[in-house]
Every structure is written in C-alpha cells, then in structure tokens.
Structure 1
Amino acid sequence: MTKHQKRLSVPESWPVERKTETFTVKADAGPHGEAGVPLLIVLRDVLGYVDSRKEARYALNQDSVLINGKAVSDEERPVGMFDILAFTERDEYYRVFPGQGGRLALTPIDADAAESKLGRIDNKQYVSGGDVQLTLHDGQTLLVDEDADYSPGDSIVVGNEDDEVVAHFEYEEGALVTAVDGAHAGEIGEIEEIQVTPGSAANNVIVEQDDGDGFETVEEYVVVIDENFTGDEGDEPEDVTGGDDE
C-alpha cells in the first residue's frame, strides 16, 4: 500500500496546504478514523520541529514525544481532536483543538493540564460482569460502574496514566460547547436550546455566544467542554501549514 495521500483529497481538518505539492503522508490505522492527522504532519508542517520523515523517526526514537501520556514511535500515528501532545525535552505541551474552519490546531497548555484528556461519549453499553462500557469519540473504551450517570453526548476528562475519570460534563442546555465540524467549527458558546427532531433526523442545537451572534448546528457537531479547554495559557493556537513531504 502507498504511504502517500493526495493533498487535494485530505480531510478538511488536516492543517496542510492543498496546492503546494501533489502528495502528503498518509495516516496509519489508529484513533480518530479518517480525520486523524499523521504525527509527521504535526511535527514537520505545523511545529517545524523536523524537516523530513527521517528526522521525525530519529526524534521519536528518543521516547520524548508523548500522545496522551504514552511515548510514540510511529510517525504516521493519527493525531486528532482533544489529544494531548507532550514534548518532554522541550517542556512543551499542547492540546489538539478544533480551529476556525474545522482545521485542527494546537493550543499550548501547562504540564498539569497535559496529564488528562477530554473525550466525548459516543456510545454506552452494558457488558458482561455488570459493568458499563463507554466509547469515546476517538475510539477509546472505558469500563465504569453500572450506576455511573453517564450518557452519550456527555464529555469526560480521563487521566492519561490510569484511565480514571476525573471530571464529567453533561450535555444539556446551559453547557459550554465547541463546534467541531460544519460551518461554525471552532466557535464556542453555551447551549441555549436542544431541539429534538422527531424520527431519524438529527437534533439541532442553538448556541448563544457572548458577542450576541450565536449559531445553530446539528447535535453531532458540538462537544461539551470546560472553560479550561479553550486555551489554558491564553496563547493563540498553532495552525501553520506548508513543508516538504519526504
């Protein structure tokens, strides 16, 4: 199989220029599905820490690049929404956050914030043994107690070291959310109303914002967040594109 991906056909979330070169690196199988951005693109095109695949491989062999608390050795490993990137030798930490237009961007965070990640609950089911299994937006599964009050659409914060749930944010009117897809991707506000649509059509969500504009989008495009997830350090997200492909 080819290790390259045509730039013109990459997902909108990928932070790459589409007309500078014909190809870019292809994401390996892993979390986030087709929306996952290969780690090489983050290291080379976004952060500029390496100039080539060879340099990326050398850097990853030092075990100093972590995703969600675990050292990564595969430069094609997909990186996606709300992942935590840690560069231990540089003492730099980032959260992958949906930027304007749906492109994934990196928000600088501090070391304490990098110890856990946010996940949207996409599915909840009972499994043998009396436990409940939660499936998060990136495919991660967690077992929780049967009486745990979690619902699809809620968000949880999971510790990277032990997979323990350290915070829970309910999907409800008044909740702080960010749009992660659609025309309003990257915008943040509070849910004013959840409009339940009869039948199989998607529910709509009306979001109010401080500037008074607000927006309406489909339910699957919003994720409940905590105010700390909008940029702990107050810095602008990194969203720099360009670079070569070998």
Structure 2
Amino acid sequence: MTKHQKRLSVPNSWPIERKTETFTVKADAGPHGEAGVPLLIVLRDVLGYADSRKEARYALNQDSVLINGKAVSDEERPVGMFDILAFVERDEYYRVFPGQGGRLALTPLDEDAADSALGKIVNKQHVPGGDVQLTLHDGQTLLVDEGAPYDGGDSVVVSNDDGEIVAHFEYEEGALVTAVDGSHAGEVGTVETIQITPGSAENNVIVEQDDGEGFETIESYVVVIDENFTGDDDEAPEDVTDEASAGVDEGGDEE
C-alpha cells in the first residue's frame, strides 16, 4: 500500500496547498476517518516545528507531543476536529477548530482548558449488560447508563484523564453551533429552526447569527458548542493556509 497521497485529492479540511507539489504524506488509519490530517502536516507545514519527517519522528519519540492527553509517536496519526494538541516542552496548547472554508485551524488554549475534548454524538445504541454506547464523531465510544440524557446530535466534553463526561450540550433550537462542513464551514450561530424532513433525507437547520446574515445547512454539518469553543475568549484561530503554502519540504514524503 502506498504511503503517498496526491495533493489534489486530499479532503478540503487539510490545510495544505494542492498545486505546489504532486504528493504529500498520507494519514494512517485512526480517528476522524479520511478527513483526519496527518500529524506531520501540523508539525511541519502548519506550525513549523519540524523541517522534515525525520525531525518530526525525533520530536515525537520524546513523548512531549500529546493528542487528547495521550503521547503520540506516529507522525501519520490523523488529527481532526476538536482534538486537543499539547506541546509539553513548549507549554503550548491548541484546539483543532473549523476555519473558513472548512480547513482545520488551531485555536491557542490555556493549559486549564486543554484537559478535555469536545465530541459530537453520531450514534447511540444499547449493548449487552444494559449499558448504552455512544459513538462520537471521531470514532471514540463511551458507555453510559441506560436512561442517561444523551441523544444523537448532542455534544459532550470528555476528560482526557479518565474519559468521563464533564459537560453536555443538547442539540436543540437555541443551541450555539458551528458548521464543520459545507459552504458555511467555520461559521458560528444559534439554531433558530430544525426542519424535520420526511423520509430518509437529512433534516435542515436554520442558523441565525449576530450580524443578521444566518445560514441554512444540513443537520450532520453542525456541532453544538458553547462560547468557550469559539475562540472569542482566547486568541483567534490561526490562519494556517498561508503557513501551509510556505511549509518546508513541500513534497511531504521525504525522510
């Protein structure tokens, strides 16, 4: 199986330029499916913390780079929406957040805000033993008691230390949401109306915004958040597009 990925065919969420070179690094199997961005791209092309794959491997072998509280040693490990990146030696922390156009951006965080990660519930089912299993957008699964107040479309905040749910945001009219895909990716607003669509088609969501514009999108494209996830109280998300286009070692697959 090839370890290379053609730039022209990468998902829109990848913060790289598509026409500078033919290939880039390919994401390994892991969370976030095909939309996951290889950690190497974040380290080298976005943040500039490594000039090559070899340097990235060396840095990761020091156990000083954490994703959602766990040390990562694979430079191809996928990074995706709402992951928490911690660079221990630098004392730097970031949340992966949707930027304009759906490209992943990094929101700087304080250390205290980096101890848990947000997840959207995309599936809920009963499992043997009487518990209920929640599946989050990144593939993570959680077991909760039957009758626990979690439904599909809701968001939960999960502690990186013990995997416990520490906050719960219901998907309902009036909820604060961000679009993570589609033409309105990266926009934030409040759910005005959830339009139930008969049959198998997805429900539509009408989102109102402070500037009066608002937008309409489908249900699977929105994620419930709270004001702490918008970047308003922290620094704004970094614009990674220009940084990625100026990244070192553009071929992406050299050693």
What TM-score, normalized by structure 2, do the two folds share?
A: 0.95
Alpha carbons 1:178, 1:186 under 8 Å: kept: yes
One-letter code of the match for 1:29? A
Q: CA deviation at 1:236?
A: 2.4
The answer for the alignment partner of 1:115 in structure 2 is 115
User: Which amino acid counterpart does residue 33 of structure 1 have in structure 2?
Assistant: G
Question: Any conservation in 2 of the 1:179–1:188 contact (CA below 8 Å)?
Answer: yes
Aligned position for 2:201: 201
Q: 1:241 aligns to what?
A: 244
Deviation of 1:232 (Å): 6.1
Identity %: 84
Whether the aligned pair in 2 keeps the contact of 1:109 and 1:232 (CA below 8 Å) is: no
Q: Distance in 2 between matches of 1:211 and 1:23?
A: 40
Q: Paired residue for 1:159? A: 159
Distance 1:189 1:25 in 2: 34
Is 1:103 matched with 2:103? yes
Quick one: which amino acid aligns to residue 194 of structure 2?
A: I
Q: What SS does the aligned partner of 1:13 have?
A: coil
Shift of 1:112: 1.0
Task: Give, as a single letter, the amino acid of the residue that structure 2 aligns with 1:62.
Answer: Q
**Secondary structure of 1:241's match?**
helix
Q: After the TM superposition, which parts of structure 1 deviate over 4 Å for at least 4 consecutive aligned residues?
A: none
Residue 178 of structure 1 is matched in structure 2 by 178
Deviation per CA, 1:111-160: give whole Å up to 9, x if none: 11110000000000011111110000000000011120100000000001
Report the Cα distance in structure 2 between the residues aligned to 1:220 and 1:171, rounded to whole angstroms: 11
Amino acid at match of 1:39: L
**Structure 1 gap ranges (5+):** none
1:231 shift after superposition: 1.4
SS across alignment from 1:142: strand
Distance between the aligned counterparts of 1:197 and 1:221, measured in 2?
15
Shift of 1:234: 2.8
- Report how far residue 237 of structure 1 moved: 1.5
**Deviation digits for residues 182-220 of structure 1 (CA, Å, limit 9, x no counterpart):** 000000000000000001111000000000000000110
Is contact 1:69–1:161 with CA below 8 Å preserved after alignment? yes
- 3-state SS, counterpart of residue 111 of structure 2: coil
Normalised TM-score (structure 1): 0.98
Q: Tell me: CA distance 1:71–1:232, structure 2 relative to 1, closer, same or farther (3 Å).
A: farther
Cα distance in 2 for partners of 1:217, 1:185 equals 10
1:1-246 map, 5 Å: 1-231=1-231, 233-238=233-238, 239=240, 240-242=243-245, 243=247, 244=249, 245=252, 246=254
Distance 1:233 1:157 in 2: 18
RMSD: 0.8
Given that 1:46 and 1:241 are in contact with CA atoms closer than 8 Å, whether structure 2 keeps it comes out as yes
The whole-number CA distance in structure 2 between the counterparts of 1:132 and 1:97 is: 28
Distance in 1 separating the partners of 2:233 and 2:183 = 27
Aligned residues: 246
Q: In the alignment, is the contact (CA less than 8 A) between 1:39 and 1:77 conserved in 2?
A: yes
